[in-house]
Amino acid sequence: MHRLEEIWLGLSAGILILFMVIVGYQTFALGMGPPSNKENIDPEQVDQTAPFDNPGVKKVGENEYEVVMTLQAFGFTPSDIEVPAGAEVTFTMTSKDVVHGFQVAGTNINAMVMPGHIQEITHTFDEPGEYLVLCNEYCGAGHQLMSTTITVK
Amino acid sequence: MEAAKTSTPVENKEETSLKGTMVSVLFVLGVIVVMWVGVFWLYMSRV
Amino acid sequence: MEQSIKETFREKANKGLGVNPLDAKISKSYLSVAFITLLIGGILGLVQGLQRAGLLELPAWLNYYQVLTAHGILLILVFTATFTIGYLYAVLSHTLGGLLPKVRKMAWVGLGLMLLGVVLVVITILMNEASVLYTFYPPLAASPIFYIGLVFVVLGIWSCSFGAFINYNHWRKNHRGQVTPLYAFFAMGVFILWFFGSIGVTVEVLTLIPWSLGWKETINVMVSRTLFWSFGHTLVNIWYIVAISAWYVAIPKIIGGKVFSDKLARVVVILLVILNIPGGFHHQIIDPGISESVKFLHVFMSTSIAFPSLMTAFAIFAMFERAGRKRGGKGLLGWFTKLPWGDVRFLAPMIAMIAFIPGGAGGIVNTSNQMNQVIHNTMWVVGHFHITVGVTVVLTFFGITYWLVPFLSKRKLTPQMNRLGVIQTIIWTVGMIFMSGSQHLVGLLGDPRRTSFTTYGDHEIALSWVPYEYVMAFGGTLLLLGVIIQVYAVFNMMFFAPKGETEFPLGEAEENEAPTPLWTERWSIWIILMLMVVAMAYVVPIVDFVVNGGPGSPPIRTW
């Protein structure tokens, strides 16, 4: 193999491995991995299964909240959420029907919410403002209407 | 590795410089790095 | 012995006399279907782009999601598959000395099955019975006819895949001790990956049919999704191998250069075949139900797939540099300007290659584990696949037509048609820069994909996306113009161009290159390695989904 080609392949492989090391370290040492919750639920019994029998915003600590949320074509329950600035919020979610996506525009909050599965994602809302929450996985004729807001005061 | 060439010792493609190739692929790597770092920076700014 | 003398004579006769008319008819039929499909898919694309920007209101009987489903399936599945078969069957015919009669039959059967499948799929989409998009994720449930149609399309492709295997193996039996022609080797890689890559989704669709018919009460949503992406991801690399087959073999001849390294090209194909399927989870990085470790394994596999592309980058640039210097290019980069930029057969694939620089880079970003959260399901992804398949793959395909269609039709590529091709290429490139560029940017701002026109109640951030959507619509308009010109060019070259001989560009190896070792032809080993790697990546999670999957979901219709 041509010497320059060897150098090229070694260098580019090295950069790719560096990328993997960075995101791998963040995931496995710093807990920054993608939302990967592994609990199951009967998708036809969501309203009767705790904690989804009582969805809403719950305070669980000093500026720590849990939002227990169900997603359904075409809305989020609870909607129009309000939290104080600096709040660390964990969203615990499931779908009552088809696959939905939970995205808060302008943040890293982006998680698939699937029927039969409980998904979790956590975010600290440092900046005040009104955040747009939307469903980013096609879920039917009203998909483009499926949105709500999170207001951080 | 290659059999010794005993015929015409005229310069052949063995000698063609591949420096331009190296510059080009390093540019490719540069684009990859810039794009990755850019999105990584955006990700970190939103953490 | 006598058999192989007959074979060699037949091959030489073929090369001398040009294309076998029976084989040409097959390729021309597939290419015709491909470009008619492109025209329809392209029109749908513009309709989508205009609606998405709020510039067009659709009639009551047609909603955005029907258009989107059709646009996706027609272009991603039908156009790419029919073009691939038309092109690669011509390659096999030319380099292997003609298609066997039974292989021709299989190609015709394949076309019939595919057309039947497409008709069934399109009918259900028009009836609003299948507004489930190209990914048809359950529990969204389409009409059973939709899924049956998809099965026919895949069976058609399998028929062609097996035909290719038969022809390839026949050549090998009659040429013991020789490696196959490089172009045929590429074709083999494509059809192997097509067959094995589609097994997962075929299993998925076969389970969806009884479910949508009501015979099976629930479906396992995660298994379905995973089986889909084991195919969906592989498909893009299939297109990639099809495109690079032209870069490695045809382009050197077109620019007056030589194939950089026959052996390296085959190693690239082998790596792509083995490493491909186990990357499917990079489409599922933010799914629940899959552990971070398994996701990271797939992320690693997906990143490793960048490696054959980086090898290709070096090989192709080196091929250009050698050819450019031979044409008098001086200095570090002077060879670059010596390449035949005015020849559409070079220009189109060249722009395709350049587009893969940001396209591939974007792919590495997408697969970087948690960085995926920045872009998943946003318009960034749409920008990404339009630049990779829409430019790298499709512009290579377009470039191929300018020699393939005249060759098959025993006509010539005229300077006028070449100039039209150059213009079309420029229009396409500009259109894609505007459209894909703005899609990448607005995706980073959070604009979601696969969503009909909306401002989410005039929310400030959603309103900020609209100007980008106008730019997308503008780009899309240029693209449809490009489609129309390209379709015109193909049919002109097929039926109306002046008669004559067109060369089938077959690159030759450098003079003192060492012969390619025969071990590269050990397809059974590559297939075994591929299956082992697939098992490594998928057995644990799929068993987990099945065993711990819960009751599953009933069919649901939300449109």
Spell out the domain ranges in chain A. 1-33, 39-152
Using CA coordinates, name the residue in chain B closest to C322.
B16
Cα C58 to Cα C62, C136, C522: the distances in Å are 6, 22, 54
**Please, what's the b/e burial string for C115-126 (b: 16 or more CB within 10 A of its CB; e: otherwise)?**
bbbbebbbebbe
Kindly report the number of other CB atoms within 10 A of residue A135's CB atom: 29
- Coil, strand or helix: which one is C132? coil
CB contact at 8 A, C156 and C111: yes
Confidence of residue B12 (pLDDT cuts 50, 70, 90): very low
Using CA coordinates, name the residue in chain B closest to C361.
B32
Cis peptide before C448 (omega within 30 of 0): no
CA angle in degrees (0–180, nearest 5) for C60-C63-C64: 145
Residues of B in contact with A5 (CB under 8 A): 18
d(CA A54, CA A92): 12
- Coil, strand or helix: which one is A78? coil
Both tokens assigned to C462: 């959603």
ipTM of the assembly? 0.96
Residues of A in contact with B36 (CB under 8 A): 19
Longest CA span, chain C? 78
Using CA coordinates, name the residue in chain A closest to B39.
A108
Those residues of chain B whose CB sits closer than 8 Å to some CB in chain C are: 1-2, 5, 12-14, 16-21, 23-25, 27-28, 31-32, 35-36, 39-40, 42-43, 46
Check whether B2 has a pLDDT greater than 70: no
pLDDT of residue C3: 54
Nearest-Cα distance to chain A for B46, in Å, is 5
Confidence of residue A101 (pLDDT cuts 50, 70, 90): very high
Give A82's contacts (C-beta < 8 A, 6+ positions apart): A57, A150, A151, A152, A153
Residues of A in contact with C307 (CB under 8 A): 9, 12-13, 16
State the pTM of this model. 0.94
d(CA C310, CA A8): 9
Using CA coordinates, name the residue in chain A closest to B16.
A2
Restricting to C residues 231-270, those with a Cβ less than 8 Å away from any Cβ of A are: none
Which candidate in B2, B12, B33, B35 is best for mutational testing of the C interface (most C CBs within 10 A)?
Answer: B35
d(CA C269, CA C265): 6
Chains A and B form CB pairs within 8 A to the count of: 24
State whether B18 and A108 contact (CB < 8 Å): no
Residues of A in contact with C222 (CB under 8 A): 114, 116-117
d(CA C115, CA C33): 9
CB contact at 8 A, C417 and C497: yes
Nearest-Cα distance to chain A for C445, in Å, is 6
Nearest-Cα distance to chain A for B13, in Å, is 12
State whether A132 and C459 contact (CB < 8 Å): yes
pLDDT tens string for chain C (559 positions)? 555 565 566 566 555 556 899 999 999 999 999 999 999 999 999 999 999 999 999 999 999 999 999 999 999 999 999 999 999 999 999 999 999 999 999 999 999 999 999 999 999 999 999 999 999 999 999 999 999 999 999 999 999 999 999 999 999 999 999 999 999 999 999 999 999 999 999 999 999 999 999 999 999 999 999 999 999 989 999 999 999 999 999 999 999 999 989 999 999 999 999 988 887 889 999 999 999 999 999 999 999 999 999 999 999 999 999 999 999 988 899 999 999 999 999 999 999 999 999 999 999 999 999 999 999 999 999 999 999 999 999 999 999 999 999 999 999 999 999 999 999 999 999 999 999 999 999 999 999 999 999 999 999 999 999 999 999 999 999 999 999 999 999 999 999 999 999 999 999 988 888 889 999 999 999 999 999 999 988 999 999 999 988 899 999 999 9
Distance of CA C284 to the CA centre of its chain: 21
- Coil, strand or helix: which one is C69? helix
Both tokens assigned to C482: 């490009």
CA dihedral for C28, C31, C37, C43, sign (positive or negative): negative
State whether B36 and C317 contact (CB < 8 Å): no
Indicate the domain borders of chain C. 14-505+528-547
Chains A and C form CB pairs within 8 A to the count of: 210
Backbone phi, then psi, for C114, in 5-degree steps?
-65, -45
Both tokens assigned to A42: 């009967």
Chains B and C form CB pairs within 8 A to the count of: 74
Residues of A in contact with B19 (CB under 8 A): 4
Those residues of chain B whose CB sits closer than 8 Å to some CB in chain A are: 18-19, 21-22, 25-26, 29, 32-33, 36, 40, 43, 46-47
Kindly report the number of other CB atoms within 10 A of residue C16's CB atom: 7
Q: Residue C291: exposed, middle, or buried by beta-carbon count in 10 A (0-12, 13-18, 19+)?
A: middle
Instruction: List, in sequence order, every beta strand (DSSP E) within chain A.
Output: 39-40, 56-61, 64-72, 75-77, 81-83, 87-95, 100-104, 110-113, 117-125, 129-134, 147-152
State whether C553 and A116 contact (CB < 8 Å): yes
Which candidate in C314, C337, C338 is best for mutational testing of the B interface (most B CBs within 10 A)?
Answer: C314
**Hunting for tokens 């600096």 — which residue is that?**
A86
State whether B20 and C361 contact (CB < 8 Å): no
d(CA C123, CA C66): 11
Cα C523 to Cα A46, A67, C165, C234, C537: the distances in Å are 50, 53, 11, 18, 21
CATH 3.40.50.300 at A39-152, yes or no: no
Using CA coordinates, name the residue in chain B closest to C356.
B28
State whether A2 and B18 contact (CB < 8 Å): yes
pLDDT of residue C8: 61
Query: Regarding the domain delimited by C14-505+528-547, which CATH topology (the fold level of the hierarchy) does it fall under?
Result: Cytochrome C Oxidase; Chain A (1.20.210)
State whether C448 and A136 contact (CB < 8 Å): yes
Among the listed residues C472, C431, C428, C433, the one whose alpha carbon sits nearest the alpha carbon of residue C449: C472
CB contact at 8 A, C439 and C497: no
CB contact at 8 A, C365 and B35: yes
Nearest-Cα distance to chain B for C142, in Å, is 37
Cis peptide before A43 (omega within 30 of 0): no
Residues of A in contact with B25 (CB under 8 A): 8, 12
d(CA C227, CA C207): 11
Residues of A in contact with C311 (CB under 8 A): 9
Give A7's contacts (C-beta < 8 A, 6+ positions apart): B22
CB-nearest to C444 from B13, B21, B42 is B42
d(CA C65, CA C53): 15
Check whether A9 has a pLDDT greater than 80: yes
Both tokens assigned to C264: 């390296």
CB contact at 8 A, C313 and B28: yes
Which candidate in A98, A102, A133 is best for mutational testing of the C interface (most C CBs within 10 A)?
Answer: A98
Check whether B9 has a pLDDT greater than 50: no
Beta bridge partners of C342: none
Among the listed residues A92, A46, A90, the one whose alpha carbon sits nearest the alpha carbon of residue C550: A46
CA dihedral defined by C152, C559, C374, C370, rounded to 10 degrees? -60
Residues of A in contact with C465 (CB under 8 A): none
CB contact at 8 A, C166 and C102: yes
Strands A81-83, A147-152: pairing is parallel
Indicate the domain borders of chain B. 20-45
State whether B22 and A8 contact (CB < 8 Å): yes
pLDDT of residue C277: 82
